[in-house]
């Protein structure tokens, strides 16, 4: 059971305290947090977080570098802060047994990254971001991270009038290649993940959705070294259904982890809400079962309680109820797989490709002339129902 449901708490949303949220949403002030940018406050916050993970019984956590330690005046000072804070994190991990699902670098909040990090028109900023990722990989290795995430919140454009698309995207590929080389050099074994998102905070982001990132990776020959961290709230922001990118990425063998949250279908932005929709959780777990689990990834709750949910208890309820939703999703999905009714339906729909001329098409053994000849012999195809409503009704029986 546990490996199917490898839950992780996102430190950013639940614990980083009163710092300004890059999306302008308020972060609730908690009683362990005095709101200062001091190392003492960062330590208190981290200790509270591990107490929370332990009470919750969750086995994994995730963070951005800047969530756990303050930025200094220079890179040296910033890295010293990070060394000190990651020492504490390592101790807390050892004491509690909580492991790091992934860490990542915040390459989007600081004003230096306003015009992008890896895709910045200024080479100096590119170098800064690269130095930050170098440190991030070292910290990931130190804390035994199972994965390392790249989320390109500023990698995109606000106007095409001042943007060299080709240069920016090839720089982004070089940036990722440099990270890959360094990861291998230091022996960091975590899986590298890219998290797609179409927009917000940038108007257009290059990592638009799963299919876009897959073709980018192939274009630059990086497809064997990166997988995707899919966040369904980003998927819906890209105009797709909730589970679309999970299914898409998984179908092509590149689903690495899931930031298991949801948006508000009536709103058009990234609300990062806790996943409470059993239908959606069932659809995701169905795909997770089909691919045999997402390890070394997991289900990370990249979600925040609503601004109005001000009790510490709300933080517990949110995580517990979200875990329960996925547990129910897993149960439903496993029943769907066990019964095999939906799988039989799917197989039946494509039965014409299993033999005869259909099999020839599948195997790439025919051509346009032969298809024309086939039509001359067989005429108009029979109309076959897609039976969507029937499938929806069957699916509903499991919820």
Residue 52: CB minimum distance to ligand XLS, A: 18
Radius of gyration of the chain, Cα coordinates, nearest whole angstrom: 23
Nearer to Ca ion, 237 or 333 (CB): 237
Nearer to Ca ion, 309 or 334 (CB): 309
* Interface residue with ligand XLS, options 254, 270, 330, 333 (CB under 6 A): 270
What does the DSSP 8-state code read for residue 188? -
Residue 155 lies near ligand XLS (rule: CB under 6 A):
no
* Interface residue with ligand XLS, options 78, 104, 115, 132 (CB under 6 A): 104
Residue closest to ligand XLS, measured at CB: 151
Tell me how far apart the alpha carbons of residues 28 and 33 are, in angstroms, rounded to a whole number: 10
Q: Which residues contact 241 (CB under 8 A, 6 or more apart)?
A: 235
Which residues between 37 and 76 bind ligand XLS (CB under 6 A)?
Answer: 64
| Partner touching 104 among Ca ion, ligand XLS, none, CB below 5 to 8 Å by kind | ligand XLS
- Where do the H-state alpha helices sit in the chain? 11-15, 39-56, 65-68, 75-96, 123-142, 165-186, 210-219, 232-237, 244-251, 278-290, 312-339, 341-349, 356-362, 368-378, 388-397
CB count, 10 Å around CB of 354? 10
Q: Is 345 a catalytic residue?
A: no
Residue 49: CB minimum distance to ligand XLS, A: 16
Tell me how far apart the alpha carbons of residues 222 and 363 are, in angstroms, rounded to a whole number: 27
- In this structure, what token pair is assigned to residue 92? 């807390």
CB count, 10 Å around CB of 218? 11
- In this structure, what token pair is assigned to residue 283? 């659809």
Residue 231 lies near ligand XLS (rule: CB under 6 A):
yes
Inter-residue contact 104 to 64 (CB < 8 Å): yes
Beta-bridge mates of residue 102: 62, 147
Tell me how far apart the alpha carbons of residues 193 and 229 are, in angstroms, rounded to a whole number: 6
Burial, 318: exposed, middle or buried (Cβ in 10 Å; 0-12, 13-18, 19+)? Answer: buried
x/- track of binding to Ca ion for residues 241-280 (CB under 5 A): ------------------x----------x-x--------
x/- track of binding to ligand XLS for residues 9-28 (CB under 6 A): ---x----------------
x/- track of binding to Ca ion for residues 291-310 (CB under 5 A): -----------x--------
x/- track of binding to Ca ion for residues 202-231 (CB under 5 A): -----------------------------x
Inter-residue contact 100 to 46 (CB < 8 Å): no
How many positions of this chain bind ligand XLS (CB under 6 A)?
11
* Interface residue with ligand XLS, options 168, 195, 207, 245 (CB under 6 A): 195
* Interface residue with ligand XLS, options 172, 206, 259, 303 (CB under 6 A): 259
Residue 302 lies near ligand XLS (rule: CB under 6 A):
yes
Binding-site ranges for Ca ion (CB under 5 A): 231, 233, 259, 270, 272, 302
Active site residues: 64
Binding-site ranges for ligand XLS (CB under 6 A): 12, 64, 104, 149, 151, 195, 197, 231, 259, 270, 302
């Amino acid at each position: 059971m546990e490996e199917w449901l490898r839950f992780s708490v996102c430190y950013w949303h639940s614990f980083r305290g009163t710092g300004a949220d890059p999306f302008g949403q308020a972060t609730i002030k908690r009683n362990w947090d005095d709101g200062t940018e001091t190392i003492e406050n960062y330590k208190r916050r981290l200790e509270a977080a591990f107490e929370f993970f332990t009470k919750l019984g969750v086995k994994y956590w995730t963070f951005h570098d800047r969530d756990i330690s303050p930025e200094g005046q220079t890179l040296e000072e910033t890295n010293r802060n990070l060394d000190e804070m990651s020492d504490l994190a390592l101790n807390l991990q050892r004491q509690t047994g909580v492991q790091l699902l992934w860490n990542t670098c915040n390459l989007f909040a600081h004003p230096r990254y306003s015009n992008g990090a890896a895709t910045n028109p200024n080479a100096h900023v590119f170098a800064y971001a690269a130095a930050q990722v170098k440190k991030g990989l070292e910290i990931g290795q130190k804390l035994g991270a199972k994965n390392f995430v790249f989320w390109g919140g500023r990698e995109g454009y606000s106007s095409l009038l001042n943007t060299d698309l080709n240069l920016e995207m090839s720089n982004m590929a070089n940036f990722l290649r440099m990270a890959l080389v360094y990861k291998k050099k230091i022996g960091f074994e975590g899986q590298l993940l890219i998290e797609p998102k179409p927009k917000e905070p940038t108007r257009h982001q290059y990592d638009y959705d799963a299919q876009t990132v897959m073709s980018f990776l192939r274009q630059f020959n990086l497809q064997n070294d990166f997988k995707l961290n899919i966040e369904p709230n980003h998927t819906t922001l890209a105009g797709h259904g909730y589970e679309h990118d999970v299914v898409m990425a998984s179908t092509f063998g590149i689903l690495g982890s899931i930031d298991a949250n949801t948006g508000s279908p009536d709103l058009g932005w990234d609300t990062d809400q806790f996943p409470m929709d059993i239908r959606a959780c069932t659809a995701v777990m169905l795909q997770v079962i089909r691919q045999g689990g997402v390890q070394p990834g997991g289900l990370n709750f990249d979600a925040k309680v609503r601004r109005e949910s001000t009790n510490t208890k709300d933080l517990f309820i949110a995580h517990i109820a979200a875990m329960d939703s996925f547990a129910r999703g897993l149960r439903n999905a496993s029943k769907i797989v066990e019964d095999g009714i939906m799988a039989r339906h799917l197989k039946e729909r494509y039965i014409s490709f299993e033999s005869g001329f259909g099999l020839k098409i599948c195997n790439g053994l025919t051509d346009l002339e032969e298809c024309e000849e086939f039509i001359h012999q067989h005429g108009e195809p029979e109309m076959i129902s897609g039976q969507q409503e029937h499938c929806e009704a069957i699916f509903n029986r499991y919820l």
